[in-house]
Amino acid sequence: MQGTGVLGILPTGTGKSVCYQVPALSKFDRTGALTVVISPLVALMADQVAGLERTGISSGVTINGMLSMPERQEALDRVRMGEAAILLISPEQLRSASVRSVLTQREVGLWVLDEAHCVSKWGHDFRPDYRYIGRFIREYSGGEPPAPVLCLTATAKPEVIRDIREHFRARLGTDLLLLDGGAARFNLAFEVRETRAGTKMGDILDVIEAKLPAEGASGAVVYCASRAATEKVAEFLKSQGLAAEHYHAGRSPEEKREIQERFRTGDLRIIAATNAFGMGIDKPDIRLVVHGDIPGSLENYLQEAGRAGRDRDHADCVLLFAKDDVERQFRLSARSRLERREIGAILKALRRIDTRMKQGGTVIATTGEIVRDEKDREFEREDATDDTRVKTAISWLEEATLLSREENRVQVFPSSLRIRDMAEAERLLGTAAITGTRRRQLLDIVRHLMNAPPEEGISTDDLTGASGLTAGALSKAMADLEIFGLARNDLAVTAFVHAGVAGQSPHRLAEAASLETGLIAAMREAAPEAEKNDPLPLNLAETCQALRDGGHAGVRPDIVEKLLRGLSRDGRDRTAASASCGEGTGACRSSRNTASKPAASSIRVAR
């Protein structure tokens, strides 16, 4: 089996996305083949799909852990039914049984690894699941020559390049042709300024006032080493009258989307962010990148500074240097590094679970369960990084052939609370025939569910930590909440109706209904003699123009396509409803509360 592939190193802003978007759309048009793009960040994937839709291309689909179950099912259906030309997923999704099943029903014409430096254990953003990609492609290909592989990154040291090429040569039999476009950006001006802890805020403000144009929609990004620092910088800049916001992984998906869109359009001029922000963001006129803290490596700096001036016009990159920051960065790097004893401790924990489960070498466990079974305390605990560090340790053990990590097995407990507050929970459980310990455990679970963000699923690792129960006992506790009337096992859907504000729901509904009526009329006029079940082509551009002529000024091809998709599904639910709800217009959204067991990896441990 011999495959073909390319490793492309192109500076930020030189069009890496176009390198796969054009061939993907061409392959889909000619043969219906799917292009699978593996990307490290949800924000990057969502922005890529949104960017395609803004240009009238609606055949891009993303599947990620932030989707609700109905949204995820819709995305899977679009891939399965051949509606998707490009599928953007994180590497972790390749271990999902549902994603694997869908991909077996499509011909994959191209595999793309965005931010390909994540493959390398020497890279500045090593991502353990990236090293599973080669094996997945080999298994998917079933002994046949695999589809071409395209690896793309903005920066890679020589040892990283060697590691990526050796990985695909060994795992897939594919020799990647290296196309190195260099890292030079001649439109960027680099500057280093010395600062101190007491003057840093003022220095950041001085740089912004001097380098960011006062007028226009251009933007600035201030990179910080921690979440707390981004919040502190944003609050300071807002107090000085500047349009600024903070951005980090702790913000809700809705907040992130809003911040990204405001920044893209120029309504928001300044973002104070951790290093995740900016990867793939479609903002060509970032005129200034400020590093309030020194980054973890020169590669990190080139990646982050390179997000300025993607329109090829002049931009400034300013690094504020303080001696204290160097020491803090060393501490952060040391904290993320795994010691040999920690890797060994994870192996011992897996063997301990294997012995207890008596599954003959197959362990099914979440990262939280593995850490709890590490009894010798040799693995350094830190809640924020435990998940990544456990997966990294497992990746190293897999490299050493001491175990083999298989696909994830996800268990979901749809559980909606039926009570309004903790007082009601205490009253109901006060009359239940249970022990005081059991009552406290159930109340701890209810309290955690109530305090969780309303639009996010809740990991059972979180619930076991809150209640002190084992994973097995937690399932029984969730059932007890139903028995005692505190919860119900369903998918609660909540519709949020916006009233008394701009774009209120009644107005959106009226617009959606009017557009849908106009679309149906346009289709009837275009094909008055059409018979039932007789397929006919519909030109989206011509349809949009006809709707604009009819007074629907804001219509776009992607909105028309979403309306058509909604119309095609009308009447398919159990109530045989015939109203479409104006899909794609933002008229309504849903919220769900579920507790779920996180991706519990199936691991085969060598004894």
Name the fold adopted by 338-412+598-605.
Arc Repressor Mutant, subunit A (1.10.10)
Lowest mean pLDDT among 85-99, 215-229, 426-440, 567-581: 567-581
CA atoms within 13 Å, Cβ hemisphere of 510: 5
Identify the pLDDT of residue 212.
95
| pLDDT-wise least confident of 79-83, 381-385, 505-509, 559-563 | 381-385
pLDDT at 594 > cutoff 70: no
**In 3-state terms, what secondary structure has residue 273?**
strand
User: What's the chain's average pLDDT?
Assistant: 82
On the question of pLDDT at 38 being above 90, the answer is yes
Residue-wise pLDDT tens digits, 151-169: 999 878 889 999 999 999 9
Specify whether domain 415-493 bears CATH 1.25.10.
no
Which amino acid is residue 539, in one-letter code? N
Name the H helices within 42-132: 42-54, 69-80, 97-103
pLDDT value at 385 more than 60: yes
> Which tens digit of pLDDT belongs to each residue from 6-33?
999 988 767 888 999 999 999 999 999 9
pLDDT at residue number 469: 81
CB within 8 A of 360, min separation 6: which ones?
none
Mean pLDDT of 327-338: 66
Of the ranges 88-102, 232-246, 327-341, 445-459, the best mean pLDDT one: 232-246
Which bin fits 381, alpha (ψ -120 to 50), beta or left (φ > 0)? beta
Best CA proximity match to 44, nearest among 135, 112, 133 = 112
CA angle 237, 240, 245 (to 5 degrees): 30
The pLDDT of residue 586: 31
pLDDT band at 587 (very low <50, low <70, confident <90, very high): very low
Phi and psi of 590, rounded to 5°?
-120, 155
Q: What is the pLDDT of residue 585?
A: 32
Which pLDDT value is given to residue 579? Answer: 34
pLDDT tier, 334 (very low <50, low <70, confident <90, very high otherwise): low
The residues, ordered by sequence, that sit 6+ positions from 288 with a Cβ below 8 Å of its Cβ are 207, 208, 211, 212, 219, 220, 221, 308, 315, 316, 317, 318
Q: Which of 382, 350, 396 is nearest to 604 (CA)?
A: 350
pLDDT band at 592 (very low <50, low <70, confident <90, very high): very low
Predicted confidence at residue 580, as pLDDT, reads 33
Judge whether residue 240 has pLDDT over 70.
yes
Query: Is pLDDT above 90 for 220?
Result: yes
Average pLDDT over residues 129-137: 90
Is residue 481 classed exposed, middle or buried when 0-12, 13-18 and 19+ CB atoms within 10 A define those classes? Answer: buried
**Predicted model pTM:** 0.69
**Which of 33-47, 277-291, 330-344, 353-367 shows the lowest mean pLDDT across its residues?**
330-344
- CA torsion, ordered 340, 342, 348, 350, to nearest 10 deg: -120
Residue 569 has pLDDT above 70, yes or no: no
User: What is the assigned CATH class of domain 3-180?
Assistant: alpha beta
The closest alpha carbon to 17, from 150, 107, 106, belongs to: 150
Residue closest to 18 by CA, chosen among 42, 51, 50: 51
- Residue 286: pLDDT band (50, 70, 90) is very high
Residue holding tokens 């996800």?
Answer: 410
Looking up tokens 């919040």, which residue turns up?
A: 231
Mean pLDDT for 309-313 is 88
The pLDDT assigned to 575 comes to 39
Whether the predicted pLDDT of 350 surpasses 80? yes
User: How many Å apart are CA 196 and CA 194, to the nearest integer?
Assistant: 7
pLDDT band at 331 (very low <50, low <70, confident <90, very high): low
Residue at 434: amino acid letter: I
pLDDT at 23: 94
Angle between helices 460-467 and 436-451 (to 10 degrees): 140
Domain with CATH 1.10.10.10 in the chain: 338-412+598-605
Q: Average pLDDT for residues 126-139, to the nearest whole number?
A: 88
Residue 69 has pLDDT above 50, yes or no: yes
CA pair distance 607, 605, nearest whole angstrom: 6
- Find, among 557, 550, 560, 568, the residue nearest to 512 by Cα: 560
Q: How far is it, in rounded angstroms, from Cα 44 to Cα 40? A: 8
pLDDT at 460: 73
Residue 321's DSSP bridge partners are: 194
Tell me where in the chain the CATH 3.40.50.300 domain(s) lie.
3-180, 188-332
Distance separating alpha carbons of residues 231 and 288, to the nearest angstrom: 19
Closest CA to 175 of 205, 207, 134: 134
**What pLDDT score does 604 carry?**
61
Q: Cβ(132)–Cβ(113) under 8 Å?
A: no
What are 482-507's pLDDT values in tens digits?
888 888 765 545 566 777 777 788 88
Across 49-63, 97-111, 175-189, 486-500, the highest mean pLDDT is recorded for 97-111
Percent of the chain at pLDDT > 90 equals 27
Q: Residue 111: pLDDT above 90?
A: yes
Homologous superfamily of 188-332 in CATH? P-loop containing nucleotide triphosphate hydrolases (3.40.50.300)
Ranking 105-119, 219-233, 237-251, 442-456 by mean pLDDT, the lowest is: 442-456
The larger pLDDT score, comparing residue 554 to residue 160, is at: 160
